[in-house]
Every structure is written in structure tokens, then in C-alpha cells.
Amino acid sequence: MGLSRSPSEGEAPVPSPLKVSHSLPGAPAAVYALLTDRDFQEGRLTETGGNDPQVVDLSTTDGKTTIVTRQSIPASVLPSMVASMIPGDPVTERTEVWAADGDGYTATFSVVVKGAPASLKGTMTLSADGEGSTLAVDGSAVVPIPLFGSKVEAIIVEQVGALLDSEAAYTAARL
């Protein structure tokens, strides 16, 4: 059994991993077409919760598609420990940069919480899987706060995992 510890002063924080995989009933090209559609993104944001959801950018340049979304999370739904660290309703901004990769697609992603020392970064891979596809997310959350950082990271990973599950269900229903 491994022990988790908070980093000592001067040490880098140890990120909390996020690994999620979803099977989707469409070929990678069909899933990618949905993911890069503004109406789909707006519908997914509205369906999966949050306040004031918006697609800030959805553009393609040099074979790469950038998707930037923003929404606020009601402080009332956050664990009290997290809500006490952030004034008001925190605003999250998520950026995905997608590109073709063989028969599938890959993306880098980042999620930042405005006004909070929290971030989530990683990669997403959309690959063929039989007649459908698999969307795999591999990331890590970092909250560089002594003593509480790893607890907040665990909450972020749990909440983002649940959000990704909801997004996968929304996506599957539209394929």
C-alpha cells in the first residue's frame, strides 16, 4: 500500500492521476465530427450542468481543431472545503486541441479554474474499437496547496470523472 504525502517546501506537488475510458457506438470519424461541432458542444455543456455555459472558441487551423469552453460551477454543489477556498462560483475553462492520428484522433487538454491554484492537464485518444470507438482520457490534477492539495485533487479527479461519464452518455446518444 502506497502512502500519499504532501510535498515539503521547495518540492514539486505530486499530481493525482485521472484515467477514464469510454466505448462509443460510432467510428472515430463520426465521433470527431460531433466533438468538433459547435451545436453539439453547446448542447453538451447545457446538458451536463454548470452555469453560463459557452463555447468560447471552436476553430481549425493547420489541421488542428481547438475547442475552448467555459462555465461556472455553483459553489453550493462543491464540497465545503473547496468552496471555502474560492470566492463565489468558480469558472472553469477547458481547452482541447484535436488532430488526426492515423485512423483516429488525439488531443491535448487542459482545465483551469479561474482564481484557484488548480489545473488538470492530459491527453485524449479517440481510436477504432470494433465497429465503434474508444475515447481514452489520461490526465493529472495539480493543486499546489500544502496539506490540502491532494484532498482537493482527489475531489477534482472524482468530479471530472463523473462529468466525463455524463459527456460520454450524451455523445453516445447522438451517434
> Please, which residues bridge with residue 85 across strands?
none
| pLDDT range class, residue 13, cuts 50, 70, 90 | low
Over residues 134-146, the pLDDT tens digits come to: 999 999 999 888 8
Domain 17-174 bears CATH identifier 3.90.1300.10 = no
Over residues 80-136, the pLDDT tens digits come to: 777 777 778 888 899 999 999 999 999 999 999 887 888 999 999 999 999 999 999
Q: Is 65 helix (H, G, I), strand (E, B) or coil?
A: strand
Over residues 23-56, the pLDDT tens digits come to: 999 999 999 999 999 999 999 999 987 789 999 9
Please give the torsion angle defined by the CA atoms of residues 20, 26, 27 and 31, in that order, rounded to the nearest 10 degrees: -70
Contact, 119 vs 109, CB < 8 A?
no
Please give the torsion angle defined by the CA atoms of residues 166, 169, 173 and 175, in that order, rounded to the nearest 10 degrees: 110
Domain ranges of the chain: 17-174
The set of residues, in sequence order, having a beta carbon less than 8 Å from that of 77 and lying 6+ positions away, is none
pTM: 0.86
Grid cell for residue 127: 481510436
What gap in Å lies between CA 100 and CA 119, rounded to an integer? 26
The set of residues, in sequence order, having a beta carbon less than 8 Å from that of 141 and lying 6+ positions away, is 15, 16, 18, 118, 119, 120, 153, 156, 157, 160
User: Which pLDDT value is given to residue 117?
Assistant: 84
What gap in Å lies between CA 152 and CA 3, rounded to an integer? 17
CB atoms within 10 A of CB 141: 26
Q: Which residue type occupies 68?
A: V
By C-alpha distance, which of 55, 29, 54, 40 is closest to 174? 40
Over residues 155-165, the pLDDT tens digits come to: 888 888 888 99
Q: Is residue 12 pLDDT above 80, yes or no? A: no
